[in-house]
Amino acid sequence: MDNIRRGNKQLIKELNRAILINTILNYGPVSRTRISEITDLGLSTVSNIVADLIKKELIYETGEEESSGGRRAILLEFNCNDRFVLGIKIGLDGIIIGLVNMKSKILDQHFIPSPVKSNEEIVLEVLIRAIRDLISKNHIKAEKILGCGIGVSGLVNQKEGTLVFSKILGWKQIRFKELLEKEFDFPIFVDKDVNVLTLTEKRFGVGKKINNFICITIGKGVGAGIVIKGDIYHGSYGGAGDFGHIIIDKDGPLCYCGKRGCLETFSSDQFIINKIKEALSNQQDTIIKDFLKKKEDLNSITVDTVLEAAQKGDVISKNIFQEVGKSLAIGIVSLVSLFDPELIVLGGEGVKAGELIFPTMRKVIRDNFPFKKEIKIVPLQPGEEGWIIGAAELVLSEVFKTPIFKSKGKVAIKSAFHW
């Protein structure tokens, strides 16, 4: 209540423009009359606002509809290629950068191999060059870029736009926002990679119309993006959704995070590798042996090695994935108890092993909720687009944010509703 703007003509104006633009985004191409019907705004009001928005080049007329017995309707469309957004995903393998239009369509994307194990300066240098290259290659004026969103693995301070710490990347304290904003004239937004992927699912994917859901990523680590009442939930200090570090075994083994019995100690890539190494050193019968050139070459084993073995029918390997499935299920059971979500989405590298993990996982979940009707669990198609679109969405969601709330402090980005 306290953070709501007072009512005056300015608010009405912005609000109705927001409603109108959103209607065109969702229903477009669409006529004035139809907009009036959908939004319940007066026809003259719609006409006036439309005229204003056309003048400002935010929308444009794009032909006529078939007649339905009278004058043909003039269709309106959002001018989504007038300005652009950059979406960046920083991963262990490298950086993916994409140019995205205002309707979240990827226009161009590039991959820059990893500058991992680098320090702040080098990472930033690579990013700056990548951004400049992308902009110039697409012949876009820099002032047409609305902003840049970055998704990165680790603990992120959203407000400061810094990566506080990332175990996987081996980085800490990288001031993306501050340093990139020095270089460019558009705002930078940073968030955890899981949250970025979750955002994509919320806006365009399986979570589109769902208010409360959780998107779990399985891979090097285990994380979760939490959507509550339609928004990503970050927690008070940005650390929410640390699904990999809930405790599923109170007297379990020590985790690198300092706790005991974390889910991640039973389900991450490292767990799989450790398990298979253990099996090998116990002389257990697994075809992984045949994969190794030298017998001692244990360090060359990756999750993909084990996955391949399991897919070829190796029992030991299959069992390991099943065990991962069981542990994930235990974690999900707790998630469901706490969040009671409508949907759980599974993403990340780990879905590649889905066939091996999910059946056990689903079974354990079912067994644990005998009185509850089946919980909707949907695996995601792997791919890079999700990350880019989500990162770009960090910017777009700000641009198209409902103009009802007071903006405290200096405004990071100008809302589309008073361009």
DSSP code, position 405: B
Residues near DNA (CB under 7 A), total? 32
Pairing between strand 145-152 and 84-90?
A: parallel
Helix residue ranges per DSSP H, 265-314 = 269-281, 288-291, 303-311
38 sits near DNA (criterion: CB under 7 A): no
249 sits near a copy of itself (criterion: CB under 8 A): yes
Binding-site string for DNA from residue 60 to residue 99, where x marks contact by CB under 7 A and - marks none: ----xx-xxxxxxxx-------------------------
Binding residue for a copy of itself, selected from 103, 404, 414, 418, defined by CB under 8 A: 404
Closest to 365 (Cα-Cα) out of 322, 324, 336: 336
Q: Is the dihedral of CA 156, 177, 108, 134 positive or negative?
A: negative
410/299 Cα distance (integer angstroms):
51
Pairing between strand 171-174 and 145-152?
A: unpaired
Neighbouring residues of 409: CB distance < 8 A, sequence distance ≥ 6: none
Binding residue for a copy of itself, selected from 41, 130, 310, 396, defined by CB under 8 A: 41
Of 49 and 306, which has the nearer Cβ to DNA? Answer: 49
- Cβ neighbours around 160 below 10 Å, total: 14
Q: Which stretch binds a copy of itself (CB under 8 A): 17-25, 176-184, 281-289, 299-307?
A: 17-25
296 sits near a copy of itself (criterion: CB under 8 A): no
CA distances from 193 to 252, 346, 405 (A): 28, 14, 27
Helix residue ranges per DSSP H, 138-238 = 176-183, 193-204
244/224 Cα distance (integer angstroms):
8
Binds 109: which of a copy of itself, DNA, none (CB < 5-8 Å by kind): none
**Residue 201 is encoded by which pair of tokens?**
């699912």
42 sits near DNA (criterion: CB under 7 A): yes
18 sits near DNA (criterion: CB under 7 A): no
CA distances from 274 to 228, 248, 250, 286, 352 (A): 36, 19, 21, 14, 19
Q: Are 46 and 74 in contact (CB under 8 A)?
A: no
305 sits near DNA (criterion: CB under 7 A): no
Binding residue for a copy of itself, selected from 18, 169, 218, 416, defined by CB under 8 A: 18
Give min distance, CB of 412 to DNA, in A: 24
- Cβ neighbours around 336 below 10 Å, total: 18
Of 244 and 403, which has the nearer Cβ to DNA? Answer: 403
Q: Which stretch binds DNA (CB under 7 A): 4-12, 109-117, 156-164, 389-397?
A: 4-12
Q: Are 58 and 419 in contact (CB under 8 A)?
A: yes
Q: Which stretch binds DNA (CB under 7 A): 45-53, 89-97, 270-278, 386-394?
A: 45-53
Binds 33: which of DNA, a copy of itself, none (CB < 5-8 Å by kind): DNA
Binds 246: which of DNA, a copy of itself, none (CB < 5-8 Å by kind): a copy of itself
Binding-site string for a copy of itself from residue 182 to residue 221, where x marks contact by CB under 8 A and - marks none: ----------------------------xxx---------
Binding residue for a copy of itself, selected from 67, 141, 208, 236, defined by CB under 8 A: 236
287 sits near a copy of itself (criterion: CB under 8 A): no
Q: Which stretch binds DNA (CB under 7 A): 34-42, 115-123, 300-308, 363-371?
A: 34-42
Q: Reduce the DSSP state of residue 29 to 3 states and report it.
A: coil
In which residue are the tokens 């300092």 written?
A: 258
377 sits near a copy of itself (criterion: CB under 8 A): no
Binds 156: which of a copy of itself, DNA, none (CB < 5-8 Å by kind): none
265 sits near a copy of itself (criterion: CB under 8 A): no
- 208, exposed or middle or buried, with CB in 10 Å at 0-12, 13-18, 19+? exposed
Binding residue for a copy of itself, selected from 27, 111, 233, 291, defined by CB under 8 A: 233
User: How many CA within 13 A on the CB side of residue 364?
Assistant: 18
| Residues of the shown chain interacting with a copy of itself in the complex, contacts defined by CB under 8 A | 1-2, 4, 6-9, 11-16, 18-19, 22, 39-41, 210-212, 224, 226, 228-229, 231, 233-243, 245-251, 257-260, 266, 326-327, 330, 333-335, 337-342, 368-371, 400, 402, 404
Q: Which residues bind DNA (CB under 7 A)?
A: 6-10, 12-13, 16, 31-34, 41-45, 47-51, 64-65, 67-74
